[in-house]
Chains A and B, each alone.
Chain A
Amino acid sequence: MSIQIRPILVALRRHKAGTLLIALQIALTLAIVCNALFIIHQRLANMSQASGVDEADVFVITNRWANSDQTTSQIDAQVRADLLALRQLPAVRDATPGSGYPLKGGGWDNYVMLTPEQVQPTTDAAVYTGDEHFIDTLGLKLVAGRNFRPDEVMVMGTQQAITPPSVIVSKALADRLFPGGHALGKSFYSMGPVPTTIVGIVDTLQRQGVDRYAQSHAGQSLIWPLRADDARGIYYIVRAKPGQLAAAMREAPKALLAQNRMRIIDPKDGVQDYATIHHKVYDNDRGMAILMGIICVVLLAITAAGIVGLTSFWVGQRRKQIGVRRALGARQRDILTYFLTENFLISAAGVALGTVLAIVFNLWTVTRFSMAPISMAYVGVGVLVLLLLGQGAVLAPALRASRVSPVEATRGG
């Protein structure tokens, strides 16, 4: 069976406007759909990054001091007492003080330099503070070196900047600063003239923020042995014993208030488990992915409906010609193939134009929103989807056309 392309092309020349419109619609749909798919993929990739935290058992208490006129040593005594009380709770495995926590949605980060006189920073790291319980509390995996010793933990007062002599870094930061895996024992500088020496490396420790700036420094974090005794407040990160998260989250604030009432733990979001924290921080990404998904589905549906509509019209218009062809010996299959081929030719032109549009649209997002350039795989998937969609949409009208009886040839109209 030879596919008659020439007669199809000749026929299409009589329907220039309709042909161009379908091709244009397919092109625009392709451009939008593959960019939307690409955005969905990026957002899902963001959301599936491991935080490094034992998210099933860890929760965070946001503790603000009600009396803002305490001295640093008064606060430090209170923080130590609080931690002791938390760690003694039956449902609690460990607890640490902190000035922030992973996936908080933003927080302290520092430029990092290899030499003190360096003008351009080497990179940027999220800064965590905690005591010798930090690693165990978050459930981080120490892959090299050692944990902090209790005597290394220093006190940091309100808005005070201290560079401790020792630091534990995430593997991502270690590899970025000292490629080749020799980071242990090396020193670097971070916003000050005093060096800090790497004593340990943890496997994964996600940053506090997940915005685009954070994504370009993904996973680069450092931990300093500091108790952040800020006059405003402190975060207590707590790890429950396996399966006892709910009990621990109930007991912990009570234990703190029993210690001292001059504190404010917000009843709404003062105590949050990691499922909540995780859900909150990726809200924008999730919303965008869902929206893009809806746009894709609706666009494809509209395009398919448009193809059905226009092809039905063409079939109706050509009933007589189809009847003539049938009367002259064309089989039903030939008529079906005719319309499928016609659609394929139009779609092919459409996706060719659409590929160009998709890349132009992507370039716009790259320059305006500094997004990543689109991978050709998405364009490929988009092309395939649209070709199949076109064939699927044209099937019903084409079948109807193939059932036109040869008798139609003899009828007027």
Chain B
Amino acid sequence: MFGYYIDLAMRSLRRNKALTTLMVLAIALGIGASMTTLTVLHVLSGDPLPGRSGTLYYPQIDPRDNSGLMPGKEPPLQLTEIDGFNLLRAKRADRQALMTGGSVPIQPDSAAIDPFYVEARYTTADFFAMFGAPFRYGGGWDAADDEAKARDVVINSGLNERLFGGANSVGHTLHMAGSLFRIVGVLDHWAPSPHFYDLYTGSYGYTEQVFLPLQTALDMHLAHNGSNDCWGNGTGGVGSIYPSSSCVWMQFWVQLDTPAKAADYKQFLIHYSEQQKALGRFVRAPNVRLRNLMQWLAYWQVVPDDVRLQAGLAFGFLLVCLVNTVGLMLAKFLRRAGELSVRRALGASRRALFAQLLVESGVVGLVGGVGGLLLALLGLWVVRHRPSDYAALARLDPAMLLTTFLLALVASLLAGLLPAWRACQVAPALQLKSN
């Protein structure tokens, strides 16, 4: 039966090519536009560390004075140096890492290569294990190296390629910021997106090329990249590094394996704030947050407004295309009242007619879906060639591919529902007589 319906659909669609083309084109344009924007939205709001993100948390506390230079009830988005190290050394979580961003100059051994700057992350030992960063060679450093301000460095695969042609460089030295560092590990390709652990350095398409112990970086007064917010007498501080208790510029992540541990950790943060207030360092009442990774991204509103606006508009666009298709299908089906009446008179049930018409709109939907897919691929190609920082991420994955077809099919079946129902209501006797 289904095959027969398909055959009928194809005949009918061929009969009025202009109308069919218009319907297919409208669905294709609507699907193409919404799938392009939806895919961009999907990749931008994706989980940077699937499987791990549920147990990673970002503690926030409020060390500010009452001057109100940083208005708002929410605690600051980063930690001061003192609080960061206090929380790190408390070791109350399963894993914890304190970090900040920077950039350092590298002087290659070969005189043929000019010195160049690389993006750096200054962090502590647990960073790699906690975030599941994969190593190609070697590994990270340990907590003792942190305290010893060891001149150890982990480099990423890109830098390893550039300097050592991709060979195992563990044990080699790297001349960096005027000091000799020992390479202890080489990362495999690793670029979590969004760059969740420090969104100030750019949310998408940002990767560090070197990772070195935070205390080493502080000891060497290496340059800081990212945001710092200060209050009170925090500004006007002289020296090459920020005041340690009145400027926030560090990020701190913890791994808490169970919800109970997370609840305990939140209590610990409140307790810590009370303790600091008793000591006279904190002025405000305890004001803490413990968001997990995805909550943190949502709170930060990491997806650009323009992208969300575009998605909203594209769905409005799809809606117009659908309404358009409903109208055209209605015209098409009603025009065939005579033919349908003959089928009814010959014994086809209303249900059979309804199914036949839905098959016809389903065919339009499928063809429109294929067209929409091509348009979405074109749209994503255009997005990739735009200079935005998320350009490289705009690719269709299998899940979105399936969504495209489902959307097209559901959309066109919905569009066919009303016209098919209306067309089935024709009274065969009346139609046959008038013809």
Contacts and interface: CB of A to CB of B under 8 A. Distances in A.
Contacts of A330: none
A231 B240 contact: yes
Interface stretch (B110-118, B149-157, B270-278): B110-118
Nearest to B115: A66
Contacts of A18: 327, 330-331
B238 interface: yes
B115 A299 contact: no
B91 interface: no
A194 B235 CA distance: 11
Contacts of B241: 159
B37 to A, nearest CB: 9
A206 to B, nearest CB: 20
Interface stretch (B99-107, B133-141, B180-188, B362-370): B99-107
B22 interface: yes
Nearest to B236: A192
Interface in B172-191: 177-178
Nearest to A308: B22
A288 B306 contact: yes
A162 B308 CA distance: 40
Given A21-B330, A161-B237, A316-B335, A28 B320 contact: yes
Contacts of B358: none
B163 interface: no
A39 to B, nearest CB: 8
Contacts, number: 156
Interface in A259-297: 262, 264, 280, 283-284, 287-288, 291-292, 295
A309 to B, nearest CB: 5
A368 interface: yes
Contacts of A56: none
Interface string A91-127: 0000000000000000000010000000111000000
Given A299-B317, A365-B309, A67 B327 contact: no
Given A18-B331, A160-B239, A369-B309, A68 B320 contact: no
A162 B236 contact: yes
A302 B324 contact: yes
Given A21-B330, A280-B387, A157 B240 contact: yes
A158 B305 CA distance: 34
B324 A369 contact: no
A32 B105 contact: no
Contacts of A280: 387
Contacts of B331: 18, 309-310, 312-314
Contacts of A191: 69, 230, 235
Contacts of A151: none
B133 to A, nearest CB: 26
A66 B105 contact: yes
Nearest to B304: A284
Contacts of B387: 280, 283
Nearest to A286: B386
Interface string A189-209: 001111000000000000000
Contact of A231 (B114, B223, B323): B223
Interface string A153-172: 00001111111000000000
A336 to B, nearest CB: 21
Nearest to A29: B320
B178 to A, nearest CB: 4
Contacts of B237: 160-161
A413 B105 contact: no
Interface in A204-263: 212, 231-232, 262
B115 to A, nearest CB: 4
Nearest to B106: A66
Contacts of B105: 64-68, 264
Nearest to A71: B240
B316 A413 contact: no
A88 interface: no
A212 B26 CA distance: 34
A25 interface: yes
Contacts of A368: 305, 308
Which of A17, A65, A310 has the most B CB atoms < 10 Å from its CB?
A: A17
B199 to A, nearest CB: 14
Contacts of A163: 236
Nearest to B222: A68
A303 B323 CA distance: 9
Given A66-B115, A264-B116, A306 B328 contact: yes
Contacts of A288: 306, 310
Nearest to A279: B387
A310 B328 contact: yes
B238 A303 contact: no
Contacts of A262: 115
A194 B233 CA distance: 11
Contacts of A361: 316
B129 interface: no
A79 interface: no
A298 B68 CA distance: 50
Contacts of B22: 305-306, 309
Interface in A299-323: 299, 302-303, 305-306, 309-310, 312-314, 316-317
A309 B242 CA distance: 69
A22 B235 contact: no
B398 interface: no
B121 interface: no
A22 B327 contact: yes
Interface string B317-339: 10111011011101110110000
Contacts of B103: 232
Interface string B226-246: 000010010111111110000
Contacts of B323: 21, 24-25, 28, 306
27 contacts: A17-B330, A21-B326, A22-B327, A28-B316, A28-B319, A32-B320, A64-B105, A64-B117, A157-B238, A159-B239, A159-B242, A192-B236, A262-B115, A280-B387, A283-B388, A284-B306, A284-B388, A287-B388, A302-B320, A303-B320, A305-B22, A305-B26, A305-B324, A306-B328, A309-B327, A310-B330, A365-B312
- Shortest Cβ-Cβ A-B pairs, 9 listed: A313-B331, A21-B327, A119-B68, A306-B324, A66-B115, A69-B178, A232-B223, A25-B323, A191-B235
Given A67-B178, A302-B25, A313-B331, 20 more contacts: A17-B330, A18-B330, A28-B323, A68-B222, A121-B71, A158-B221, A159-B242, A161-B235, A191-B235, A262-B115, A283-B386, A283-B388, A295-B33, A306-B26, A309-B331, A310-B330, A312-B331, A316-B335, A368-B305, A369-B308
